[in-house]
Structure 1
Amino acid sequence: MVLRVRVSLPDRPGVLGQVARAFGVLGADILQVTVLEREGGRAMDDFTLSWPGGFAAAELRERLAIVPGVRIEGVWPTREVPGVSPDYDLLGHVASDAERAYVTLVDAVPDLVSAQWAVAVDSRTGAVVHGSWQAPGVDEMPDLTPLRPAAFSEGPLHLLSLPVKDAGLHLVVARSEGPAFHQVELDKVVRLVDIVTRLAASTADRTVA
């Protein structure tokens, strides 16, 4: 099983090594570490772990509690495969088939931010145009489409929402397990949407010409 673990820890020498050793004692293999922020003497890191056996978030929390000042912000399964480049794969598929650019984006984006599902919503009507394979089977979404890119929560559901103006769509990405989306994750999706939009437009222009 591959897990994403979000850890808040003191930003001082040696603490990261203590956390890594605690994971090792549990038999977890660290596949990747992403630094989300460093501020006010603390850091927020996402660890991607290869985790043997069952899913035991409580055990992780208990073991890491021995490291002074360390807090686990969330533990959740991920389909992310460190060492590959799914964002590049997404852009390659968009460049080769511009007509399906936004369908491809919706299908791919959950795995890029360790989310569960995504939908594209018609900006005018609120109708769901396309959903990824785990998306809820609904014809319309509630009002989850702020005018600007945003990360927020609706009860236990954590959401990213951003307009795709050139396509008349709104992209909604959801995480039903784990912590709220970090600003770094929102920024990543905003950049991907911008590149997808540019690729789709430029490829369509060449086709027309």
Structure 2
Amino acid sequence: MRISLPDRPGGLGQVAKALGTLGADILQVTVLERETGRAVDDFIVSWPGPVSATEVCERLSATPGVRVEGVWPTRDMPGSAPDYDLLMHVATEPARGLATLVDALPGLCGAEWSVAVEDGAVRHASMAAPEVVNLPEPPPRAIALDSADLRLMLLPVVPQGLHVVVARAGGPVFHRAELERAVRIVDVVAKLAARA
């Protein structure tokens, strides 16, 4: 869940209390930004009961100053370090660096699929990628955008002359903190793969 809340003492506690009354177990909280008196946090939660995402949004939105920006499923495992695992795999087998990156990005970014595109042709696709991918023109720099019913990150991979697209169907547009993290990971993998 991505939640915008007042950045003041007790703000996070109010959200935690509201989630607790719904039976949610908070597994992890990531602060994405703190600006102009507000914070934007990603919460990884699990709730075993029959509570719907709509009910969670309504209940949390009733808390003064709290806005739910999105709810979507994730495969993140709190406490794990999948970005380091990815880098270790690429360092071990740099010739497969690009394919390893594309396969790992959905899990790293809370997304459904990713593809590497070169001159309009898909060079590698993650397992859940659709057969046909209609993509916008690749940008000169990394961007996040909302396209129809998908949230996309477009990430240039300059040394290889291609770009990687990461897509999620639910939740909010990728936050700039998510984009910056993905750019760093892509840059490191591209450098490692270029040495192969």
Name the TM-score class by shorter chain: over 0.9
5+ unaligned residues in a row in structure 2: which ranges? none
**Secondary structure, aligned partner of 2:33:** strand
Map 1:54-133 to 2 at 5 A: 54=50, 56-122=52-118, 125-133=119-127
- 1:187 CA drift (Å): 0.2
The CA distance in 1 between the partners of 2:51 and 2:130, in whole Å, is 24
- Paired with 1:98 and 1:53, the residues of 2 have a C-alpha distance of 44
Amino acid at match of 1:83: G
2:47 is equivalent to residue 51 of structure 1? yes
What TM-score does the superposition give when structure 2 sets the normalisation length? Answer: 0.95
- CA RMSD in angstroms comes to 1.3
Q: Is the 8 A contact 2:34 2:40 kept in 1?
A: yes
Write out per-residue CA displacement over residues 150-203 of structure 1, whole angstroms, 9 at most, x where no aligned residue: 11111221110011111121100011111000000000010001111122234x
- Identity of paired residues, percent? 60
Q: SS of the residue aligned with 2:165?
A: strand
Query: Partner of 1:77: helix, strand, or coil?
Result: coil
Q: What are structure 1's unaligned runs of at least 5 residues?
A: 205-209
- Contact residue 23 and residue 49 of structure 2 kept, 8 A: no
2:183 equivalent among 180, 183, 190: 190
SS of 1:103's partner is helix
CA distance in 1, matches of 2:50, 2:173: 23
The answer as to whether partners of 1:128 and 1:141 remain within 8 angstroms in 2 is no
Tell me which stretches of 4 or more aligned residues in structure 1 moved more than 3 Å.
none
Q: In 1, Cα distance between the equivalents of 2:24 and 2:122?
A: 39
CA drift of 1:40 comes to 1.2
* 1:201 lines up with 2:194 in the alignment: yes
Contact kept in structure 1, 2:145 and 2:173, CA below 8 Å: yes
Write the distance in 2 (CA, Å) between the matches of 1:143 and 1:23. Answer: 38
Write out per-residue CA displacement over residues 122-147 of structure 1, whole angstroms, 9 at most, x where no aligned residue: 1xx21001111111112x64334111
- State the AA in 2 paired with 1:93: H
